[in-house]
Structure 1
Amino acid sequence: MILPIVAYGSPVLRKVCVDIKEDYPDLEKLIADMWETMSASNGVGIAAPQVNKGIRLFVIDSEQIFKNMDEEDNEDYPDEPGFKGVFINAHITALNGEEWAYTEGCLSIPKIREDVNRKESVTLNFVDENFAEHTATFNGITARVILHEYDHIEGKLFIDYIKPLKRTLLKRKLDDISRGKVQVDYRMVFPK
């Protein structure tokens, strides 16, 4: 089932999420719904807070980014062909490499895209949808998508990384999103 995406200004987007246990109610269905919601909204990742759940869960599919790139662009990113997976109870253990800028957007903050600096590499502990434990390192675009979604489960948004002047200039657009004054081709739920 396609779930509505929570819009900027909703309190759940600013909460640090909690770890869950294997017996979390309807977890398998929630994960399936998140995949379907992400796909229907043309996203490459979605976190539980974006579907109004304050839990440490996100899914990513950075393979989609590489499918839409020209072959010469792929050579710039060592993580090609990308990664598709479920991250539950993720916790970062290391950030490495140089910071690099890349334009990011967010399903909860539609119509706004800005350059964000992030580290080249992330290592994290997490469990997958079968609650198998993993420690893995991801690089490049995949690391960026993971860090963006990880921020969601930490109560952060990509706009927190942009300079204060730029955020001031975006204030009207952000306020419009919170009020539901935005046109998107996916379902959204707005703050009360």
Structure 2
Amino acid sequence: MSSDLRRARRAGAIATEIEALVAAIGVPLETHALRVLLADRGRPTTAEHLARVAAGERTEYLRTRLPPRLAVAVTPDGAPLVPRWWADGDWRLQRRILTEDALPLWRGKLVERICSELIGRRRHAAPELVTLVRATMARLGLDDEMLRLPDTQDWQDVRAVLLDNLPGVIFAHDVATPQQHEAEAALLAADLPAAALYFGR
């Protein structure tokens, strides 16, 4: 088997795992968080692997014109986010637009889903996963609340702190914010090519 074919198969397998993770979390995932989650599932993934996945999705879309499995989150003016945020290609555009009012919901939903998964686990969380949760809580301004917890790895307590402060996180995978609605309308009015709406312009 040629090395090109092996690389293509590996990229396809990683794309399938990314698709499942994005669907499970329900909001776009930043590349760093995605890599931590993939490693936690026994699939350590390099930046090069992810670049191949992204290129493969774009190439496949341009070949078939069918919605890609994976798309990217974009800024309100349609530019791809750097670093890349991964999203489901079937999601409506507004769910993939990173706005000021969406960012805390995306971050919060990531923590909420990780905590929910860890509550049901029988094994300890990997240090990288713990660091991801703590860093994300700090980015949400909840580091002081975390310090007040008797055990910062009691995932039920961490989840409770999150939901007490950001109750909208529960529905973050199901709704769009006012800024996302507005940005979507502007991007659709700009009559951009479909590829730009999936992969940024």
TM-score range, shorter chain: under 0.3
Larger Rg: 2
TM-score scaled by length of structure 2: 0.26
TM-score scaled by length of structure 1: 0.27
More strand by share: 1
